Structure 1
Amino acid sequence: MTHYQNADELKSLLLGKRTDYTSEYAPQLLQGVPRSLNRDDLQLADNLPFFGEDVWYGYELSWLEPNGKPVVAVAEFRVPCTSTNLIESKSFKLYLNSYNQTRFASWQEVQASLIKDLSNTAEAAVKVSLYPVDDCPALAIANSAAVKIDDLELNVDNYQFNRDILSAAIAKDSKDSKDIVSEHLVSHLLKSNCLITNQPDWGSVYISYTGKQIDHKTLLAYIISFRMHNEFHEQCVERIFTDIIEFCQPQTLTVFARYTRRGGLDINPFRSSENISAPQSRTIRQ
């Protein structure tokens, strides 16, 4: 549990409260959460140690043409990690639902509306792309070359978050060695809980790095320690990134978590020491 869980900024959120759904366009439903809440906890100043974005996919976006005929699309949203706020997920779902019975003149008008409202909430420029459901690159299943670490033998008896596990991630002989490796690893055992509702969040975390070799069992134990941890998706990924940087000191690092879908949205936070964009793809779990 994080010490900012009872922060005043979280008390006004719709998350965890009984809510009436509206099907008429209502941008006021969107709510932002200051990124500073967990970044203060991680001792991150304005000069962030990473680049990145939060990539959302909306699978249930629909609106009406001027003649009343429904349209359905898949939407990709990219929120820069430098935005003042992250987009709170329940308010995001309610907001998208408000398009259902609203008439728009064109796909371009819908896109412009989404960009304006989301950018206002995030307090940064949000990118939005709309695709037909049968012609969407984001719906392609990614063929990953990542090495899965989940099959390693590991005794686990504690599921409380423990960053100090990573203190043993670099073996002594590796610390003393000049050998540098590049690895692309994945674990599908990432699970945390919503900061407000305590609902489980399931995901796969992809970790790519160049540096002293990180012990796979230690890294897996660290990932499993998130199992009862309460934080938003974006915050968990930034915690993983900063912990690996501190304890393992890689030359380069990218952490990309692909969370499973809930209410028509999946969230894919991407943080990297390199100024690159998140891949446009999904996993079979999404």
Structure 2
Amino acid sequence: MKPQAMSPEQSPLGKTVSYQDQYDASLLFPIPRKMKRDEIGVNEQALPFAGVDIWTGFELSWLNARGKPQVGIATFRIPADSPNLIESKSFKLYLNSYNQTRIASLEELQAQLALDLSNAAGGAVSVSVQLPQDFAAERIAELAGDYIDALDIAVDNYAPCPEILRADSSHIVSETLCSNLLKSNCLVTGQPDWGSVQISYTGPQLDREALLRYLIGFRQHNEFHEQCVERIFTDILRACAPQQLTVYARYTRRGGLDINPWRSNAAEPPQHNTRTARQ
């Protein structure tokens, strides 16, 4: 049975819960993307972007057929055109439910994860699990592009303000700008979410100081990671009219999970899931 999507306030966020260590797909809590997309004026039937939410699960463990514990690092790719996102605490509780569950093979584990997450998201979720013998191949790298964080600006606003975004229509460029100063807060609990963001575009040249002030403006804003990235994408698209735009954010993990939303009207999703130093 597919989980029923509900509002964030009905989720396990901010509530005391008991941790289950036997498999239970009903722990997953889907939240409709439509509510926040309506708020920013995005039509779900004609999305202005393609995208994917790339999750990394660092605390995945299960028992093999003989009861011996196994561990792995999982990568989950949830399509942005799926009707639901998955609330992160419920995702963690669901993964923990494998802790004392016997799984005959890695292939069976990946198939079960993909089935349950696809049912919750309402779209096809891909899953890959990396085993310990491959951990040494894990890399750390920063987002590529020009970092704008060293700009000497004064800031007195900590709420998203797309009205301050500006671009020079007489100067068309292709460039990639990055910042480590993205911070927002959980929509329900208000806990801080820390991230880095990469903005690649072709079009009128963005005013870098205005862009940095805009990004810092998320500092006291309550919204899920995926929703913040879609807000950044649509605000830049409307205010600055780039012909091509890609917004990619990598957030630090909470509860053994990180979330890395990617939205674009021009590029292919990243094939890698390389973590940054803060991740």
Alignment partner of 1:111 is 2:110: yes
Paired position in structure 2 for 1:214: 206
1:274 Cα deviation after fit? 2.1
Paired position in structure 2 for 1:242: 234
How far does the alpha carbon of each residue in 1:53-78 deviate from its partner, in whole angstroms, 9 at most, with x for none?
A: 00000011000011111110000000
Q: 1:29-108 residue pairs with structure 2 within 5 A?
A: 29-45=27-43, 46-108=45-107
Cα 1:144/1:40, change in 2 over 3 Å: closer
Paired position in structure 2 for 1:3: none
CA contact (8 A) 2:248 2:260 kept: yes
Q: Distance in 2 between matches of 1:213 and 1:24?
A: 53
SS at match of 1:213: strand
Q: Distance in 2 between matches of 1:199 and 1:106?
A: 37
Cα 1:165/1:134, change in 2 over 3 Å: farther
1:142 Cα deviation after fit? 2.4
1:162 Cα deviation after fit? 1.6
Aligned counterpart for 2:7 among listed residues 9, 14, 17: 9
Cα 1:214/1:275, change in 2 over 3 Å: closer
CA contact (8 A) 2:142 2:277 kept: no
How far does the alpha carbon of each residue in 1:134-160 deviate from its partner, in whole angstroms, 9 at most, with x for none?
A: 425983112543111000000012212
SS at match of 1:180: strand
| Alignment-mate amino acid for residue 268 of structure 2 | I
Cα 1:137/1:220, change in 2 over 3 Å: farther
Alignment partner of 1:151 is 2:150: yes
How far does the alpha carbon of each residue in 1:72-100 deviate from its partner, in whole angstroms, 9 at most, with x for none?
A: 00000000000010011000000000101
CA contact (8 A) 1:77 1:126 kept: yes
Q: Distance in 2 between matches of 1:143 and 1:16?
A: 32
1:11 Cα deviation after fit? 2.9
* TM-score, structure 1 normalization: 0.92
CA contact (8 A) 1:63 1:104 kept: yes
Cα 1:133/1:148, change in 2 over 3 Å: farther
- Structure 2 residue ranges without an equivalent (≥5): 1-5
Alignment partner of 1:184 is 2:193: no
Root-mean-square deviation (CA, aligned residues, Å) is: 1.4
CA contact (8 A) 2:9 2:188 kept: no
For this pair of structures, how many residues does the alignment match? 272
Q: Distance in 1 between matches of 2:153 and 2:82?
A: 39
| Alignment-mate amino acid for residue 164 of structure 1 | E
Aligned counterpart for 2:217 among listed residues 225, 231, 234: 225
Q: Distance in 1 between matches of 2:177 and 2:208?
A: 9
Q: Distance in 2 between matches of 1:31 and 1:66?
A: 28
- Structure 1 residue ranges without an equivalent (≥5): 1-7
Paired position in structure 2 for 1:26: 24
Paired position in structure 1 for 2:277: 284
Q: Distance in 1 between matches of 2:137 and 2:221?
A: 29
Paired position in structure 2 for 1:257: 249
* TM-score, structure 2 normalization: 0.94
SS at match of 1:160: coil
| Alignment-mate amino acid for residue 227 of structure 1 | R
